[in-house]
């Protein structure tokens, strides 16, 4: 497993022991705030992930520059850039990092771990990961991302179902709008904790408000076992790969929900 530097932002709450895997932090005692207050608290840690063929979103989980996003945002790409939106005196200031590598990825989970290789003038702002097992139906959640390239867009909704089974995986179903460009971005609770990774929505005529996120518990397992999903650019088959489902099953699933493309 790759060694991770022990870098902590000065104002970052202490991570709970035995649950971080040396890469992400948790903040179980963090107070609930309004969506507006939370955006100010966590907004700088939400980034835009861009490739030559499109863009998506992601979020910084470690101040040394580790970013979590969707696998379908970066799959097959070797030129990746990450843009952070920092608070300026009057408006957001864009800081773009052009040296980004893929650390680990998995197509079945639709998760990817990236690392910013550009020199950092200071540790990056991070977001704490919450507990998706405590999410409840009707709970208020919000997403931050770059739908259609619109920088740092905020959308709010509720949890419609905490365990929606689809294609052998469980997802958080939410009314929070998730559109192309939101892929890989965080779904937050009102404590500013990430409880899900935005990754798809229903794209059927006449159907609205059916959006889905990967539970953060799945992402935590992916991060703790990142050596099993390690990406090697010299080996296109590195990491786990899964056979495609039979065509009838795949066609039926495509009618149910389609992942937003970056």
User: ∠200-202-205 over CA atoms, to 5°?
Assistant: 145
From 57, 62, 110, 155, active-site residue: 110
Establish whether 8 is a catalytic residue.
no
Catalytic entry in 72, 106, 146, 155 = 72
Contact 259, 72 (CB under 8 A): yes
DSSP conformation letters of the chain: ---------TTPPPPPTTSSTTT----TTPPP--HHHHHHHHGGGEEEEEETTEEEEEEEEETTTEEEE-HHHHTT-S--EEEEEEE-SSSEEEEEE--EEEEEEETTTTEEEEEE-SPPSSPPP---B--GGG--TT-EEEEEE-GGG-TTEEEEEEEEEEEEEETTEEEEEESS---TT-TT-EEE-TTS-EEEEEEEE---TT--S-EEEEEHHHHHHHHHTGGGGB-BTTBTT-S---PPPPHHHHHHHHHH-BPPP-
Catalytic residue among 146, 183, 198, 217: 183
110 catalytic per annotation? yes
107 flagged as catalytic: no
169 strand-pairing partners:
166
Token pair belonging to 242: 């899964």
Half-sphere exposure of 98 toward its Cβ, with a 13 Å CA cutoff? Answer: 1
Active site residues: 72, 110, 183
């Amino acid at each position: 497993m790759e060694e991770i530097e022990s870098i902590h932002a000065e104002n970052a709450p202490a991570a709970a022991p035995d649950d971080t895997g040396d890469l992400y932090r948790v903040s179980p005692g963090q107070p609930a705030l309004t969506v507006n207050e939370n955006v100010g608290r966590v907004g700088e840690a939400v980034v835009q992930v861009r490739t030559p063929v499109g863009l998506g979103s992601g979020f910084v989980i470690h101040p040394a520059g580790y970013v979590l996003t969707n696998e379908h945002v970066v799959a097959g790409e070797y030129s990746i850039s990450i843009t952070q939106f920092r608070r300026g005196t009057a408006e957001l200031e864009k800081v773009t990092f052009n040296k980004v590598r893929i650390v680990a990825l998995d197509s079945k989970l639709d998760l990817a771990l990236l690392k910013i290789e550009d020199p950092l003038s200071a540790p990056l702002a991070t977001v704490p990961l919450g507990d998706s097992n405590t999410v409840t139906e009707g709970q208020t959640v919000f997403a931050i991302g770059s739908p259609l390239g619109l920088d740092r867009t905020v959308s709010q909704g509720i949890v419609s179902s905490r365990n929606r089974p689809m294609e052998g995986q469980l997802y958080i179903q939410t009314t929070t709008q998730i559109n192309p460009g939101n892929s890989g971005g965080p779904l937050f609770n009102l404590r500013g904790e990430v409880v899900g990774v935005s990754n798809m929505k229903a794209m059927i005529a006449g159907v609205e408000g059916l959006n889905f996120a990967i539970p953060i518990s799945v992402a935590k397992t992916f991060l703790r076992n990142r050596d099993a999903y390690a990406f090697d650019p010299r080996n296109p088959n590195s990491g786990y790969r899964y056979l495609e489902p039979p065509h009838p099953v795949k066609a039926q699933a495509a009618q149910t929900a389609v992942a937003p493309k970056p």
